[in-house]
Structure 1
Amino acid sequence: MLTILGFAMIATFLVLIMLKKMSPIAALVLIPALFCVFVGKGAKLGDYVIDGVTGLAPTAAMLMFAIVYFGVMIDVGLFDPIVRGILRFCKADPLRIVVGTAVLAAIVSLDGDGSTTFMITVSAMYPLYKRLKMSLVVMTGVAAMANGVMNTLPWGGPTARAATALKVDASDIFVPMIPALATGLLFVLVLSYVLGRRERTRLGVLTLDEVLVEEQETVLVGAGAGTGTQAGGGAGAGTDAAPEEPEDDGFQGLDPHRATLRPRLYWFNALLTVTLLTAMIMEWLPIPVLFLLGAALALTVNFPHMPDQKARIAAHAENVLNVSGMVFAAAVFTGVLQGTGMVDHMADWLVNNIPDGMGPHMALVTGVLSIPLTYFMSNDGFYFGILPVLAEAGQAHGVSSLEIARASIVGQPLHMSSPLVPAVYVLVGMAKVEFGDHTRFVVKWAALTSLVVLGAAALFGII
C-alpha cells in the first residue's frame, strides 16, 4: 500500500504542477500532507515536517544569502563585461547564445555546486534572452542538463556518495567514465545547437548594432519619461530614473547608466567573488556561512549607506522569498516521503521486481533505474539506501561494485531538474520560469541525455 501511495503522491504532484492547477509551493505542502493522512500517520506530520526542514535549513540559508550576494554583483556591474563579451561573440545570434549557455553552465559547474552554477549562468545570460525575446525555458533546460552531466565530478556529490556507499575509490568510478560523460556533454551541446536553430528560425538574427541601439533606446525612453527632451537633463535624469523602475526586477542587463554601477570597485568585487568560490571549493567554511559573510561584505562596501542597502535587499527580496519558500516546501515533501517509509517501499518494490535473468546485466539495470529513482528521491536516499542493494544483487551474479557505482551516476542530467533538488528552484526563480513549464520541457531531453551517457558507457565497455 505504501508503495502505491508513494507513486501516487509523486504522480499527483507532477501532474498538478505541469497542468498549472496548483503552484509548486502549494503542491509541495498540501499533497504530501494529504497523503500522510491517507497513510494513517497524520498525527506524525509535524515530526516529519520538522525533520525535513531541519535537514534543508542550511541549504535554504545558503540560497537566501547567495541570491543576495549575486544580486548585488549584478547590480554593481560585475557580470556586465561577461554579458557584453558573450553578446559580441554570439553576434545576437540565438543559436550561438543557446550553445553559449551550455558552455558557460558546464564551465561554471566545475565548482561542484549547482546553485552557484545557476546563479552565475542566469545572471550572465538572462539579459540576452530577454533582450532578444528568446525562450527562457530553453535557457533553464540547457543549463540544467549541462550542470547535470558535470555534477558527476568527484567533488560534485553523487560520485562521492556512490564511492562512500560501496566503499570504493571515487577516482576509480569517475576516471573510467570520462569518455561516456564527455559523450553526454557533447550531446547536450548538439541539443543546444538544435534548440538554438529553432530559436534562430523563430526570431531571426539581429546585428550587434541593432541590439545596442535597442538598449540605448530603452535607456533614453526611461530617461525621457521624466525629463523631457533636454539633452543635458536627460542624461542625468536617466541615471536617477533607472533604480526607480528597474526592468526585469533587478536584471538591468546592459544599461550602462544605472545608478547601482560601481566601476571603481570592480576589481574588489571580482576578487571577493573569486575568493568566495575558492573558499567554497576548498571548504574553508560551511557554504551558508561563506555566502552570509560575502553578502554582508558586498553590501557594506558597495552600498555603505543604509537606505541603499535596504533598497538592494528589497530589489532581490522576491527571488529570496520564492527560492527559500520552495526549499522549505520541498522539506515537507521529502519529510513525508521518508518519514512514512514510502520511499523505502518504492525502492524495495523496484528492486524485487527485477527479473532473475537480468542479474548478469545489473550494471545496465542500475543505470536505467538511476534515471527515475534519482528524480523521485534525493541523492542520499538513492546512493545510501538503494545502491547497496543493487550492488549486492550484482555481486551475486559476478558484477563488480565498481561497475554498479559507475552506472549509478548516469541519471544526474535528469536529477538536477528534480523537484527535490533545491538548486532547480534557484534556476527557475531567477529566470522567472514556471517550474511546471521547465519540467514539461526538460524531462524528455534530460532523460535522453542520461540514456546517451549509459549507452556510451556500454559501448566503450565501461560497464
Structure 2
Amino acid sequence: MAQDTSVFLTFIGLAIIVSIVALLIKGKISPIVGMTIIPIIGALVAGFGFEEITSFFEEGVSQVMNVVIMFIFAITFFGIMQDSGLFNPLVRGMILATKGNVIIVAMGTAVIGTFVQLDGAGATTFLLSIPALLPLYHALHMSRYLLLLIIATSAGVMNMVPWGGATGRAASVLGVDPVDLWFPLIPLQIFGFFLVLGLAALLGIREKRRIAKRVENGEIERNDYVDVRAIADDFTKRQQEAEEASEEKRVKHPSMIWINLTLTIGIITLMVADIAPPEFAFMIGVAIALPLNYRSVSDQMGRVRAHAPSALMMASVILAAGVFLGVLNGSGMLDSIALSMLAVLPEAVGPYLHVIVGALGVPMDLLTSTDAYYFAMLPLVEATAGEFGVPADSTAYAMLIGNIIGTFISPFAPALWLAIGLAGANMGMHIKYSFFWMWGFSIVMLIAAYFMGIFTV
C-alpha cells in the first residue's frame, strides 16, 4: 500500500514538474501563475486538503522570504546607484582608454560588462553598455556579435552575486542565505574575471585578423583613426539627456560619485563581514541612498516607483516558487520522485549526476527557462544526488556554475531580446556565434570550481 502511494505521488509530482516546464518553455503561462496554480491542483488531485496545502504554502514561503526581501531592496538600491550615474565614468573612461585598438576594445568591453552587471540586472547592463560601445565597434568594423558575446559572458560571471537571479533562486531552493551560498563563489568570480579578459583578448586578436583580411579583400576601407573622444562625449550627452528627461532631479555635485561608491562598498562590506544579513543591509542602503541623491520626498518615491516593477516581479516569482517547493517537499512528492529515479538510474551515474547536469547547463539554457532550471530541475537533481551522498550545496554549485554563463544566450531571457534589439542583431546569429565559446567557458569554470573545492564529486 505504501509503495502504491509512493508511485502515485511520483506520478503527480512529475506531472506538476513537466507541466510547469513545458508551459514555461512554450510561453503559455507566466512563472507566477504556473508555480502557484499547478502545484495546488496537483496536491488536490493527490488527496491533500486545503488545510494541508496551506501548511505547505506557509512552509515554502518561509523558506524563501529572506530572499524575497533581499531582491526587493537590492534591485531598488542598485537602480538608484545606476540613476545617480555611478557607472557612467567607468564606461566613459574605458571608451577613452581603448584608443581605437581592437584588442583593447574587446578587453574593455569585458571590464564594462563585468562591473555594470553589479546590479544583477541584465537589462540595465545592456542598456548602458551596448549603445555606448556599438558606435566604437562600427567605427572599427568590429562585429556586433562579438560585442554581444563578451558582454553576455562577462555579465554571467558577475551575475553570481547573491542578488543575481541564479544564486538567489538556488538559495531559495536550498533554504539558505544567498550570501552564505555566494561566499565560496567569490574566488571563482575573480578567476572568471581574468578568464573573460583572456577570452576577450583572444577574440580581439581573431577579430583584428578578420578585419585585416576584409581590408585586403577590398570589402572595407582601412580606418587608422577613430575619434574615441567624440564617441565618449556622445555617451555622456545621451546620459545627460536621459537625466534631464526624468521627472526626478538628483543631487548634482562632483563628489556624489565617490559618496555613492563609498556607500555601495559599505553595504557590500556589511554583508561580506556578516555584520548584517543581505536583506537588512540593502534596506539600510536604500534608506540612505534615497535622501542622499534626491532631496524631495516626491523625487525619492518616484525612484522607488521606477524600480518597483523589476523588484516586485522577481519577488513575486520567488514567492510563487515557494508555493511550488512547499507543495513538492511537504507532500513528499519530491522524495518519491528521487526514490523512483534511484530505481532506474545506473548506480555509477548517481554520484556524478549533478556534474553531468551542470556540464550541460548552457545547452539546457536553449531548452528551458531559468525558473524551470532552478525551481524544477535543481530540487529533483538535489534529491536524487543526495541519495548517493552528494551534499545539497555541491549539487547547487555544479548546476549554477555550469548554467549561469549561458544566461544571455537563452531565447527565454527577456533581457537578451533587449540586447539583440539594441545591437541590431539577429537571435539565431548570436546563438551560432556565441554558443560554443560560452559553453566552453562554462566547462572551464566548472573544472576550476572543482579544483577550488567549491563542489565535490
TM-score range, shorter chain: 0.5 to 0.7
Describe the SS at the equivalent of 2:74.
helix
Find out whether 1:146 has 2:134 as its counterpart: no
Describe the SS at the equivalent of 1:345.
helix
Deviations 1:337-387 (A, max 9, x none): 22222322232333333325x27xx65455225568994559995898555
In structure 2, relative to structure 1, the CA distance for the partners of 1:188 and 1:215 (3 Å cut) is closer
Deviation at 1:317, TM superposition (A): 1.9
1:30 corresponds in structure 2 to 37
Distance 1:289 1:82 in 2: 28
Find out whether 1:290 has 2:281 as its counterpart: yes
The one of 375, 398, 413 aligned to 2:401: 413
1:376-387 alignment, distance < 5 Å? 376=374, 385-387=383-385
In structure 2, relative to structure 1, the CA distance for the partners of 1:275 and 1:263 (3 Å cut) is same
Bigger mean CA offset, 18-27 vs 49-58: 18-27
Find out whether 1:318 has 2:309 as its counterpart: yes
Distance 2:128 2:100 in 1: 12
Deviations 1:111-143 (A, max 9, x none): xxxx96625x76555312245677898688535
In structure 2, relative to structure 1, the CA distance for the partners of 1:214 and 1:190 (3 Å cut) is same
Describe the SS at the equivalent of 1:347.
helix
The one of 18, 29, 34 aligned to 2:25: 18
Q: Is the 8 A contact 2:32 2:317 kept in 1?
A: yes
Describe the SS at the equivalent of 2:324.
helix
2:89 corresponds in structure 1 to 81
1:128 corresponds in structure 2 to 129
Distance 2:235 2:396 in 1: 47
Deviation at 1:289, TM superposition (A): 0.9
1:265-304 alignment, distance < 5 Å? 265-304=256-295
1:1-400 alignment, distance < 5 Å? 1-41=8-48, 43=50, 44-89=52-97, 118-119=120-121, 123=124, 126-131=127-132, 141-143=152-154, 145-147=156-158, 186=195, 190=199, 208-209=228-229, 211-212=231-232, 214-215=234-235, 241-244=244-247, 261-356=252-347, 358=348, 364-369=352-357, 375-376=373-374, 385-391=383-389
2:3 corresponds in structure 1 to none
Q: Is the 8 A contact 1:280 1:290 kept in 2?
A: yes
Distance 1:316 1:37 in 2: 37
1:235 corresponds in structure 2 to none
Describe the SS at the equivalent of 2:388.
helix
The one-letter amino acid paired with 1:128 is S
Describe the SS at the equivalent of 1:78.
coil
Q: Is the 8 A contact 2:267 2:285 kept in 1?
A: yes
Deviations 1:13-41 (A, max 9, x none): 23323332222322232333333333333
Q: Is the 8 A contact 2:20 2:38 kept in 1?
A: yes
Distance 1:58 1:87 in 2: 39
Q: Is the 8 A contact 2:153 2:406 kept in 1?
A: no
Structure 2 unpaired stretches of 5+: 1-7, 135-143, 212-219, 362-371, 421-426
Q: Is the 8 A contact 1:243 1:259 kept in 2?
A: no
The one-letter amino acid paired with 2:293 is N
Describe the SS at the equivalent of 1:411.
helix
Distance 2:169 2:30 in 1: 29
Identical columns (%): 23
Please tell me the root mean square deviation across aligned C-alpha atoms, in Å.
5.5
1:229 corresponds in structure 2 to none
Provide the aligned length of Structure 1 versus Structure 2.
385
Describe the SS at the equivalent of 2:120.
helix
Distance 1:243 1:132 in 2: 23
Distance 1:340 1:417 in 2: 34
Q: Is the 8 A contact 2:43 2:331 kept in 1?
A: yes
Q: Is the 8 A contact 1:69 1:295 kept in 2?
A: yes
In structure 2, relative to structure 1, the CA distance for the partners of 1:458 and 1:444 (3 Å cut) is same
Describe the SS at the equivalent of 2:339.
helix
Describe the SS at the equivalent of 2:389.
helix
In structure 2, relative to structure 1, the CA distance for the partners of 1:191 and 1:53 (3 Å cut) is farther
Q: Is the 8 A contact 2:126 2:418 kept in 1?
A: no
Describe the SS at the equivalent of 1:324.
helix
In structure 2, relative to structure 1, the CA distance for the partners of 1:370 and 1:286 (3 Å cut) is same
Distance 1:35 1:343 in 2: 13
Q: Is the 8 A contact 1:60 1:328 kept in 2?
A: yes
Deviations 1:57-109 (A, max 9, x none): 1111111111221111112222211222233346799997776565567689x
Q: Is the 8 A contact 1:60 1:327 kept in 2?
A: yes
Distance 1:86 1:5 in 2: 54
The one-letter amino acid paired with 1:68 is T
Structure 1 unpaired stretches of 5+: 109-114, 223-237, 247-257, 393-400
In structure 2, relative to structure 1, the CA distance for the partners of 1:341 and 1:138 (3 Å cut) is farther
The one-letter amino acid paired with 1:368 is I
Distance 1:279 1:262 in 2: 26
The one-letter amino acid paired with 1:271 is T
Deviation at 1:191, TM superposition (A): 9.0
